[in-house]
Structure 1
Amino acid sequence: MGKAGIVYNDNKPIACNTAKDITRYFKAAGWDVVLATGVGGILGYSRPELPACYSKIENMVPPGFDADMAFAVVLGGDGTVLSACRQLAPAGIPILTINTGHMGFLTETYLNQLPEALSALMEGQYTVEDRVMLTVQVIHEGGLLWEALSLNEMVLHKEPLTGMCHFEVEIGAHALVDIAADGVIISTPTGSTAYALAAGGPVITPGVSVLQLIPICPHSLASRALVFSDAEPVEIFPANRQQLILVVDGNAGCYMLPDDRVRVQKSPFSARFIRLSSPEFFKILREKLGWGLPHIAKPTSVELP
């Protein structure tokens, strides 16, 4: 009949048990099922003695997850979703995200709605929303040292974080921008509700073709968030002599030496999210982050005589 995938967080018993249940459900309908854990999408932290520890972007796809796969079900929280996007975006596989975690900002539905969700999947009653991802690369002496896919953001900072750094940032063909701050963030619209939001950046609705640059605790009142076209690549040159660390989606990092640079650009791969109903971004902001809730002192309408 078809081929489906399941990516699950094997540290959560409920995700493991649900993966087994979904496998039986699809196989009973005559579908082939391939399973993988979200661990395969975790890039791993480099160490000072091993500054580059990574797998090439195209090599992150798990065995059996290929063009014949109609979709994959992802079981976990936001961390598992981020890992699954790195694993499946290069193969172009749409994912239905089921929340078995806590916040679940990136998940589409919940376990108590699983039967209806699986039925909709089998019947093809869904749409696919593409989300922009970033290709993040560290360049050392003109060659590629490290790379990763990012759905949310990349962050470059000193260890420990509370230490002033100096950066020169080049966006497209524009002149270099000098930034003195604890670190810098390059974020996608999806990531605008993650670290970027906590660092004072604006919320950007999905589908807007922009990225944003955010200094972390800048040493100048003039250094503020900058929103720019996602068609423009970004290069970041550390202007200080200390070793820095690059972190992608809060998950993995690469140590950077003073002469290295970071290259960030819109990836040719997109995260493909299955939507069972029309996406309602403002509703998610309201439910997950409390944005736009009615004020307790909201005035009522009064008829004038």
Structure 2
Amino acid sequence: MLWPKAGIIYNDEKPVACRAAAELKDKLITCGWEVCLATGIGGILGYSSPERPVCHTPIHHLNPPGFDIDMSFAIVLGGDGTVLSAFRQVAPYGIPLLTINTGHMGFLTETYLNQLPLAIDALLSNQYEIEERAMLTVQIVREQDMLWEALCLNEMVIHREPLTSMCHFEVEIGQHAALDIAADGVIISTPTGSTAYSLSAGGPVVTPGVPVLQLVPICPHSLASRALVFADTEPVVIFPANPNRLVMVVDGNGGCYVLPDDQVHIRKSPYTARFIRLKSPEFFRVLREKLGWGLPHIAKPTSVELP
């Protein structure tokens, strides 16, 4: 008899997540499930160094042992960083994730740890729906050879090193004319990432279901350089048009150096991030609760005339 299989991915740097993972594993086994455990560290991309400018972890080498297409779902215990790491590990296998917040902001998480028993009951009784979100494939190409690649749910950022001057970027989007951008850096963001670094850099908020990507310059040296939203069917190639090496970071997690003759290729990934939703997704509610968007203005007190 084959047992149904589930996974647990947890942040092993948080004792509360470790305890919850152990208790959850016992509960699922009691309910007749085969359970595979993994830590969020498995999806960490790592950083390159000046001595080793390429730190290449192929996309399909990040999946934890036992996590495969036969897995019904996986449960993530951690914060947004753990969620991003988990999707890099499981997205190629289409495994849906129930995300449980044991961190602070938890913008990408579905519910909180104190609601875990109710969430598991709903999960095991199939009382949920799946929301799919777009991801990006990011690659560094040097002389036609692919040196580095990563899956990305939020954003890809390429920027100057500290203590260097402003940079120039030549950006090709689909078949459109190339753009020349003078700035400290450039962000290519998914709708999911529109509420992350892109938002801090002045980009718009994009609801998750809209099939677009956006380009956001970081501290541009021109009033004409503003965020650009374009169809996610169009690939992007970034050419660093300056003599100094640059740094590329994916999902705020890891990355590599980009040399003057390198090219950064970004395209919509064939894999999606599959979120388990215990109730119908309501993006505006999350914006209100997490970022305070759309809250009513507080009226100013009535002025009182002094005698």
**TM bracket (short chain):** over 0.9
Secondary structure in 1 aligned to 2:109? coil
Aligned to 1:303: none
Aligned to 2:221: 219
Distance in 1 (alpha carbons) for counterparts of 2:123 and 2:12: 23
Structure 1 residues 44 and 161, CA gap change in structure 2 (3 angstroms): farther
Deviation at 1:253?
Answer: 1.1
Aligned residue type for 2:183: A
Aligned to 2:137: 135
Secondary structure in 2 aligned to 1:70? strand
Distance in 2 (alpha carbons) for counterparts of 1:137 and 1:268: 14
Please list, as runs of the form range in 1=range in 2, the aligned pairs for 1:129-208 lying within 5 A after superposition. 129-160=131-162, 163-208=165-210
Please list, as runs of the form range in 1=range in 2, the aligned pairs for 1:1-305 lying within 5 A after superposition. 1-160=3-162, 163-297=165-299
Q: Which ranges of structure 1 fall in alignment gaps of 5 or more residues?
A: 299-305
Deviation at 1:296?
Answer: 1.1
Q: Tell which deviates more after alignment, 154-163 or 186-195.
A: 154-163
Aligned to 2:303: none
Distance in 2 (alpha carbons) for counterparts of 1:8 and 1:269: 22
Aligned residue type for 2:25: T
Deviation at 1:162?
Answer: 6.8
Secondary structure in 2 aligned to 1:25? helix
**Normalised by the size of structure 1, how large is the TM-score?**
0.96
**2:140–2:147 contact (8 Å) kept in structure 1:** yes
Identity %: 72
Q: Spell out structure 1 runs of 4+ moving beyond 3 A.
A: none
**2:56–2:147 contact (8 Å) kept in structure 1:** no
Distance in 1 (alpha carbons) for counterparts of 2:34 and 2:215: 43
Aligned residue type for 1:249: D
Distance in 2 (alpha carbons) for counterparts of 1:253 and 1:70: 31
Q: CA RMSD in A?
A: 1.0
Distance in 2 (alpha carbons) for counterparts of 1:253 and 1:236: 15
Structure 1 residues 277 and 162, CA gap change in structure 2 (3 angstroms): farther
Structure 1 residues 250 and 162, CA gap change in structure 2 (3 angstroms): farther
Structure 1 residues 168 and 41, CA gap change in structure 2 (3 angstroms): same
Deviation at 1:160?
Answer: 1.0
1:208-228 deviation per Cα after TM superposition (whole angstroms, max 9, x unaligned): 000000000000000000000
Q: Tell which deviates more after alignment, 58-67 or 208-217.
A: 58-67
Distance in 1 (alpha carbons) for counterparts of 2:298 and 2:88: 42
Deviation at 1:161?
Answer: 7.3
Q: How many residues align?
A: 298
Deviation at 1:54?
Answer: 2.3
Q: Tell which deviates more after alignment, 53-62 or 287-296.
A: 53-62
**Normalised by the size of structure 2, how large is the TM-score?**
0.96
Q: Tell which deviates more after alignment, 54-63 or 83-92.
A: 54-63
Distance in 1 (alpha carbons) for counterparts of 2:183 and 2:18: 42
Distance in 2 (alpha carbons) for counterparts of 1:275 and 1:67: 20
Deviation at 1:164?
Answer: 0.4
Distance in 2 (alpha carbons) for counterparts of 1:85 and 1:78: 11
Deviation at 1:59?
Answer: 1.2
